Structure 1
Amino acid sequence: MSIKKEDIISALEEMKLTELNELVKAIEEHFGVVASAGIAVAAGPVADSAPSEVSVLLTSAGAQKVAVIKVVKEITGLGLMDAKKLVDSTLPAVIKENVKIEDAEAIKAQLVEAGASVDFK
């Protein structure tokens, strides 16, 4: 049985954002790969039933923890010590709550560039 690329794309277009996120995680786990931030952004328009606001979660500070702390400080407006405590806290840590999808993507891009791993809730 051969599945055409167009059939897969058509099926993806009908999925909700949360379903796409679960699919990406399952593919990453199955094939042992990590999707880049560009792929998630290029996934397509958000379905009408998807939430318009999300919470940005820091899932890992990565190897460049100091750079991530600086970005968290800038994004949240916290002091340096409070930003460090947030990054060092039990992960996933909420960086911003009730953020528009577009703003959340911008925050994610900043954090990923600094070396962090980010997810939305």
Structure 2
Amino acid sequence: MNKLLKASEEHYGVSAQALSQPEPSKEEQTEFSVILVGAGSHKDDVVKQVREITGLGASEAANIVEGAPRTIIEGQSREDAQKLVKKITDAGGKAEIS
């Protein structure tokens, strides 16, 4: 059996030990975006939250809300992104993290 394993390793250019090692885990995502999916029935409240989150004026924020689904902010930590999604959902809108 050992000869067969050694011959296979030489033929295919891999080692059995390398095959038995777990694959390195992918890098964990550290930056997240908040995506406004929809405004729901409380569009004005959602526009206010988008203004607060982005620092945009009323008309720019309204354009984002009307154009949903749209990314409203990027580069946030998971915790901050979750807080922003909660603000939007509390205002009656629907948002998600990506």
Q: TM-score, normalised by structure 2?
A: 0.70
**1:50 aligned partner, one-letter code:** E
Where does the alignment leave 5 or more consecutive residues of structure 2 unmatched? 1-25
Whole-Å Cα distance in 2 between the matches of residues 100 and 85 of structure 1?
25
Deviation of residue 50 (structure 1)? 3.2
- Identity of aligned pairs, percent? 36
Asked whether 1:61 is paired with 2:39, we answer yes
Deviation of residue 92 (structure 1)? 1.5
Where does the alignment leave 5 or more consecutive residues of structure 1 unmatched? 1-47
**What does the per-residue CA deviation read over 1:21-69, in whole Å, with 9 as the maximum and x for residues that have no partner?**
xxxxxxxxxxxxxxxxxxxxxxxxxxx8431111100001000000000
Q: Secondary structure at the match of 2:85?
A: helix
Question: Which residue number corresponds to residue 83 of structure 1?
Answer: 61
* Number of equivalent positions: 73
Question: Which residue number corresponds to residue 69 of structure 2?
Answer: 92
Question: Which residue number corresponds to residue 89 of structure 2?
Answer: 112
**1:76 aligned partner, one-letter code:** T
Q: Secondary structure at the match of 1:72?
A: helix
Whole-Å Cα distance in 2 between the matches of residues 73 and 52 of structure 1?
25
Question: Which residue number corresponds to residue 78 of structure 2?
Answer: 101
Whole-Å Cα distance in 2 between the matches of residues 80 and 63 of structure 1?
18
| Contact 2:51/2:58 (<8 A) preserved | yes
Whole-Å Cα distance in 2 between the matches of residues 112 and 53 of structure 1?
21
**2:80 aligned partner, one-letter code:** D
Q: TM-score, normalised by structure 1?
A: 0.57
Q: Which has the larger radius of gyration?
A: 2
